[in-house]
């Protein structure tokens, strides 16, 4: 008799509460560290960071680690190696939309950007549930509410990492740009 690992609603609720606490702290820190002007300049850095992040998450977890136990039952087998590119692109475009909405609010632009990932995740995971996500053995003991609660804050956590990556990429880009300008102008 083989034992199949299963995640329960209690596991997901606990994970959601813990992740929400972490996200709340990260949102406050990010909102204080990233000014309105700096956030406006992060546009394409956020898009690329989101595309790379979600593409890698799908490559590692969706197409490899959880393919047999979860995603192989929800998606056709031919899509296994296409999904990271597809979801990387879709989530990169979603980040562009989040940025566009966020720059239109008066305050807490970074917080709005991060929080928008929650409803986005709920829509995506809701569609996956309609396709049978919760019927796979790994998730059969989970409720839709617990799965959506966890997925919502999970994506907000990813969005915190995406903001950090975008800030870092912009800083590196600015340093490289300064170094390049110095070399081309003859300064050292």
In a domain, 3, yes or no: no
In a domain, 150, yes or no: yes
In a domain, 178, yes or no: yes
In a domain, 4, yes or no: no
| For the chain, the helix, strand and coil percentages under 3-state DSSP, each to the nearest 5 | 80, 0, 20
Residue 113, Cβ neighbours under 10 Å: how many? Answer: 30
Give me the pLDDT at residue 1, please.
Answer: 41
Model pTM?
0.89
In a domain, 59, yes or no: yes
Q: What value does the mean pLDDT take over residues 137-143?
A: 93
Q: Show the tokens assigned to 130.
A: 């309609």
Q: What value does the mean pLDDT take over residues 177-183?
A: 61
Domains held by the chain: number: 1
Residue 48, Cβ neighbours under 10 Å: how many? Answer: 17
Q: Which among 22, 83, 26 has a CA at the least distance from the CA of 56?
A: 83
Q: Which of 44-53, 74-83, 123-132, 179-188 has the lowest mean pLDDT?
A: 179-188
What range defines the domain where residue 42 resides?
A: 9-185
In a domain, 1, yes or no: no
Band the pLDDT of 175: cuts 50, 70, 90: confident
In a domain, 110, yes or no: yes
């Amino acid at each position: 008799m083989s034992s199949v690992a299963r995640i329960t609603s209690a596991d997901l609720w606990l994970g959601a509460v813990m992740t929400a606490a972490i996200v709340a702290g990260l949102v406050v820190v990010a909102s204080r560290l990233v000014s309105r002007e700096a956030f406006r300049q992060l546009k394409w850095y956020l898009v690329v960071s989101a595309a790379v992040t979600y593409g890698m998450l799908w490559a590692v977890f969706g197409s490899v680690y959880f393919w047999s136990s979860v995603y192989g039952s929800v998606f056709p087998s031919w899509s296994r190696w296409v999904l990271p590119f597809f979801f990387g692109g879709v989530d990169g475009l979603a980040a562009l939309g989040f940025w566009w909405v966020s720059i239109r609010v008066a305050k807490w632009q970074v917080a709005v950007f991060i929080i928008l990932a929650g409803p986005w995740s709920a829509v995506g995971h809701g569609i996956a549930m309609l396709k049978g996500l919760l019927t796979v053995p790994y998730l059969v003991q989970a409720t839709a509410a617990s799965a959506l609660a966890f997925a919502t804050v999970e994506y907000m956590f990813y969005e915190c990492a995406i903001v950090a990556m975008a800030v870092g990429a912009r800083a590196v880009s600015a340093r490289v740009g300064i170094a390049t300008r110095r070399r081309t102008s003859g300064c050292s």
